[in-house]
Structure 1
Amino acid sequence: MSIKSLAGQTIYYGFSNIASKLLNYFLTPLYLELMTQASYGEMSTVYAYIPFLNIVLTYGMETALFRFAKKENSQTVLSTATISLLVTTISFTFLLLLFRGTIINSYVGELSGLAGKPSFYTYIVLIMAFDALTAIPFAQLRLENRPVRYAIIRLANILSTISFNILFLVIIPKLYASGNTWLPEIKSSNQVGYIYLSNMLGSGVTLLLFIPQILKIRWQFDNHLWKQMLTYAVPLIIVGMAGMVNETFDRAWFLPQFLPGNSMLVKKQMIGIYAANYKLAILITMFIQAFKLGAEPFFFKQAEGANPQKVYARIMKLFVVMLCLMFLFVSLYLNIWKIFLRRPEYYPGMQIVPVLLLANMFLGIYYNLTIWFKLTDRTLMGAFITVTTAALAFLLNWWWIPTMGYFGAALATMVCYFVQMSICYALGQKFYPVPYHLPRILTYIITAVLTYYLFSFLNRTLLSPGDVYALKPLPLLVATVFFAAYAWFVLKMEKKEFERIPVLNKILAKL
């Protein structure tokens, strides 16, 4: 598989991922319009917990599938992984529902808003179960290089979820108000439940679309192979769980625990502001996710070829260039992106967006670097890296949130991802050296950050003093000049690299 093939697959994965995220993101203004900050904070807390349990439910089997699947045994690996996830998901779901009351009352009740609402909890558990059951079918499509079908099913998932949201939150309330009282009355107090229900139904549609694919699997279970896969995959649970401490634990636990004051309502409101602004980093996270979907199977297959390290180094450089461009595209135009926040009370949180963009840039580079411990079967080393940074995340959030509020959580996230990336790079160069173009990578990142902060300084002092997020022509013009200058700088630096790409080659010829 060539880099061109990887780029093509990333485009397909990117299209489906970006389209689904953007479509889903358009629901955010609807949620912010209908819900209070506290309710939005409750929902954000719930959705921050879900990734933790998803990691437990899938326990690294997707990556194990890519690691062990070869042409001669791919069907055996696929069926073993599928049967394993099927049995464990059904068992775990049964236990979560069986102890529903204890879990709600003892662990997740007050802050999540689930106390006294067992149906909400059931929807959430089923969302996780359906997502776990579709993990291997999605991985199979990636393994078999079928990004088009992947994109179609992913878009079907999000379109159905959005449709159910609009049905329950917009259409049914209007019909009820016009006299159709046979329909359910959707009050502000139970809107969140219908959002969970919509998500559950969307995940259920995805599972139904995969049923024909699942039924084609040759149902055979190799116990010896399963133990090998499990030995490889279990450390990835630690990797994933510790990684989620940085990604979602700020909303799920750090902010509620460390924000000053005793008012739960105020804490929920602060979490709502933080979560809403967190979503403004959507573009860079979408690209990272799209790249990850295409790159993971690509890296494993590339490892079988000659001198794969050279290919990995080239990919990293191009990847960082795209991350830097996206960082500037979002951070320079925050006065436009703020329209998704709908209400002015969310605007104060926009100060965290550039910090979170930079944090996600470091996270994306880390994902690219993790290939060394996956290829060398040193997944325990990956667990060590993420556990170390998870401990650092606890320390920094405990230190900074009480004095800096949610900005402290954002800053802690950025520092932790930087440390995680740095440790992974240092260990990777020891156990699986890759000749990354470090001077250029650092140049692109530092220049992008300096470009933003220079624009920010000019915006505060000259362009929009007093209201840096005002939608005015002059700041937009200056932002465009800064973005174009950075893009021109990168194109000049990587002229030979981009000449291999026909469209960019034409652009370079005119410069």
Structure 2
Amino acid sequence: MRFRHVKSLARHTAVYGLGDLLGKATGILLVPVYARLLSPSENGDMALAYAFVSFSVLLYALGLNHALVRHLSVERGAEGMRLRFSTAYWTLTAIGVLLSLLVWSSAARLAIVFLNSTSYADIFQIIAVILLLDTLSEPFFTLCRVRQRSGTYASVRFVQHTLQLGLTVYLIVWEGNGVRAIFWSNLVSSAFAFLALCPIGFRVLRPIYSKPILRELLRFGLPFVPSAAALLLINLSDRLLLKFFLGKDAVGILQILFRFCLPMQMLTRVFRSAWAPGVLAIPDRAEARTVVARVTTYYAAGATLLLLVLSTFARDLILLGCGSRASEYLPAQGVIPVVTLAFLLSGLYIILTAGVYAEGRSRMLPLVVGLGAGVNVGFNLLLIPRMGVLGAAWSTLAAYGVMVVFLYFHTRRFYPVAYEYARLAKVAVAGGIVYIGVSGFAPDASPSGLVTRCILLLAFPFILWGWNFLESGEWQEIRQLFRLPKQAGVEARESSGDRPDVP
């Protein structure tokens, strides 16, 4: 029974991953375009503009999509689902229209504040439309997640990101449109996602509204806003402070190096998409906690392997992706392993939020993330003037480390989970041994050095095997995960329970 739920989570995570894969892969595949055809300053402009987008999303959403995940996952009545969804959607629509009009009318001022020039005002006008389209489409994606229609979610995301990738390459490489091409491509892909999901959303959306329901949704969702703002502060304050201390070129260098860490961020993102609905779908709370413990072990092993891969080939990735401009990025190659480890810890943070969702304790999240944000800003102010972009990377790692430790001890009071500490220790020790080994050969770009690093990297799974990391019969269960597509229909029905399919 326990592994059935692990299997269901794995299936939905894998399918969500197919859709989000290209979203993050877009950032990786476009590195040669951005690094070779755009200057570090232009990459800095892109990073700073998207920092504004990320913070704006919080004001547009007000945590209502988080609230929909919680409330629609446990709502059994069709009419109740329609009322909750419609109330949230009409609220988001009104907020989105008002805020986008404000951004559009303030485009010139925003361009001066963020990009130091009114010539970029048109970019913020494009951003105003993107924010509105994403606000209108995100509840539809949430509906797919809650009803565990991961295939629809993945298909739309996949086409959306493919469209954005193709348009960006065309407009930059062939049309020479520079940094503006990135935002035009985003606008077109966001419009596609909204139009593609309209038929699904409109099946549930009704011209109904309830103020008591809105208060109930906001009571759960609003506490996510300060915590999400603090998370963004952790991820984006370094861009703003780098611009202040070192200029836009440093921001652009950090932005490109962050893109090499996107595989780990992608893993945590698709995991997050399936995590909350998957845990809430397990009716037995004791069994849910057992699943949380087992998933933590599997995540730690897989994420550590990915960390080792990205750390081992950090220099090679920069040389391959940045071409003739690699010399501008190589001095800061140490950013890649540090930021990748930070993203690994962010995945553990997501796992720890299982108790928050299950027990409805979202009000404590702002304190946890606020603590991390404070650590991040403090370390950035201390380290960036001394270490440059590498200081920003260490600040991100410190912030996520503090958050994981604090949330771990806090959630144990109301959602105790018997984590598999011995197995987690094996993963940590084996990963440390392999990392030390490959670090000695990192500067060696010769064929023999590359082969040596590959051999040392392969030692990680063999060390775990030799230490009896897998329990008796567990390997056979894990192998079943690769046969998930054959049983997808059966498990989708099992995991959805008796929740009605709202027409």
TM-score normalized with structure 1 length: 0.87
Residue pair 1:498, 1:505 contacting (<8 A) in 2 also: no
User: How is 1:75-474 mapped onto 2 (pairs within 5 angstroms)?
Assistant: 75-105=82-112, 107-110=113-116, 114-172=117-175, 186=177, 191-219=178-206, 220-251=208-239, 253-259=240-246, 267-302=247-282, 306-338=286-318, 339-342=320-323, 343-344=325-326, 345-456=328-439, 458-459=440-441, 468=443, 470-474=444-448
Supply the AA of the counterpart residue of 2:65: E
Deviations 1:389-425 (A, max 9, x none): 1111111111111111111110111111111100000
Residue pair 1:12, 1:148 contacting (<8 A) in 2 also: yes
Structure 1 stretch displaced more, 486-495 or 146-155: 486-495
| 1-structure distance, mates of 2:343, 2:63 | 22
**Alpha carbons of structure 1 residues 121 and 93: separation in structure 2 relative to 1, 3 Å:** same
Residue pair 2:110, 2:121 contacting (<8 A) in 1 also: no
Which residue pairs with 1:263 in the alignment? none
Residue pair 2:304, 2:431 contacting (<8 A) in 1 also: yes
> Which residue among 432, 437, 454 is the counterpart of 1:480?
454
Structure 1 stretch displaced more, 477-486 or 490-499: 490-499
Which residue pairs with 2:42 in the alignment? 39
| 2-structure distance, mates of 1:505, 1:232 | 37
**Alpha carbons of structure 1 residues 169 and 297: separation in structure 2 relative to 1, 3 Å:** same
Residue pair 1:80, 1:222 contacting (<8 A) in 2 also: yes
Structure 1 stretch displaced more, 150-159 or 20-29: 20-29
Q: What is the CA-CA distance between 1:451 and the residue it aligns to?
A: 1.9
- Partner of 2:416, secondary structure, is coil
| 2-structure distance, mates of 1:404, 1:303 | 49
Supply the AA of the counterpart residue of 1:201: V
Which residue pairs with 2:476 in the alignment? 499
Q: What is the CA-CA distance between 1:450 and the residue it aligns to?
A: 3.7
Q: What is the CA-CA distance between 1:440 and the residue it aligns to?
A: 2.4
| 2-structure distance, mates of 1:258, 1:366 | 30
Supply the AA of the counterpart residue of 1:271: V
Supply the AA of the counterpart residue of 1:192: V
Q: What is the CA-CA distance between 1:213 and the residue it aligns to?
A: 2.0
Residue pair 1:332, 1:479 contacting (<8 A) in 2 also: yes
Which residue pairs with 1:490 in the alignment? 464
Residue pair 1:277, 1:341 contacting (<8 A) in 2 also: no
**Alpha carbons of structure 1 residues 17 and 366: separation in structure 2 relative to 1, 3 Å:** same
Deviations 1:68-117 (A, max 9, x none): 12121322222222122111111211122233333334x3241xxx5233
Residue pair 2:438, 2:457 contacting (<8 A) in 1 also: no
Structure 1 stretch displaced more, 54-63 or 17-26: 17-26
**Alpha carbons of structure 1 residues 505 and 145: separation in structure 2 relative to 1, 3 Å:** closer
Supply the AA of the counterpart residue of 1:500: E
What is the number of residues matched between the two proteins? Answer: 469
Supply the AA of the counterpart residue of 1:480: C
Q: What is the CA-CA distance between 1:167 and the residue it aligns to?
A: 3.0
Q: What is the CA-CA distance between 1:445 and the residue it aligns to?
A: 2.6
Residue pair 2:426, 2:469 contacting (<8 A) in 1 also: no
Deviations 1:310-362 (A, max 9, x none): 11111111111111111112111224322123322222221111111111111
Residue pair 1:321, 1:490 contacting (<8 A) in 2 also: no
| 1-structure distance, mates of 2:251, 2:336 | 14
| 1-structure distance, mates of 2:220, 2:129 | 27
- Partner of 1:248, secondary structure, is helix
The runs of 5 or more residues in structure 2 that have no matched partner are: 484-503
| 2-structure distance, mates of 1:225, 1:293 | 24
Supply the AA of the counterpart residue of 1:148: G
Deviations 1:27-68 (A, max 9, x none): 221122211111111111212232111122112222211211
**Alpha carbons of structure 1 residues 333 and 104: separation in structure 2 relative to 1, 3 Å:** closer
Supply the AA of the counterpart residue of 2:469: M
Q: What is the CA-CA distance between 1:449 and the residue it aligns to?
A: 3.2
Identity %: 23
Supply the AA of the counterpart residue of 2:256: A
| 1-structure distance, mates of 2:482, 2:97 | 53
| 2-structure distance, mates of 1:451, 1:493 | 16
The runs of 5 or more residues in structure 1 that have no matched partner are: 174-185, 260-266, 461-467, 507-511
TM-score normalized with structure 2 length: 0.88
Q: What is the CA-CA distance between 1:19 and the residue it aligns to?
A: 2.8
Supply the AA of the counterpart residue of 1:233: G
Residue pair 1:258, 1:398 contacting (<8 A) in 2 also: no
**Alpha carbons of structure 1 residues 418 and 450: separation in structure 2 relative to 1, 3 Å:** farther
| 1-structure distance, mates of 2:377, 2:48 | 17
| 2-structure distance, mates of 1:313, 1:213 | 35
**Alpha carbons of structure 1 residues 322 and 286: separation in structure 2 relative to 1, 3 Å:** same
Q: What is the CA-CA distance between 1:434 and the residue it aligns to?
A: 1.1
| 2-structure distance, mates of 1:145, 1:455 | 41
| 1-structure distance, mates of 2:363, 2:300 | 27
Deviations 1:99-137 (A, max 9, x none): 3333334x3241xxx523321111122222212211111
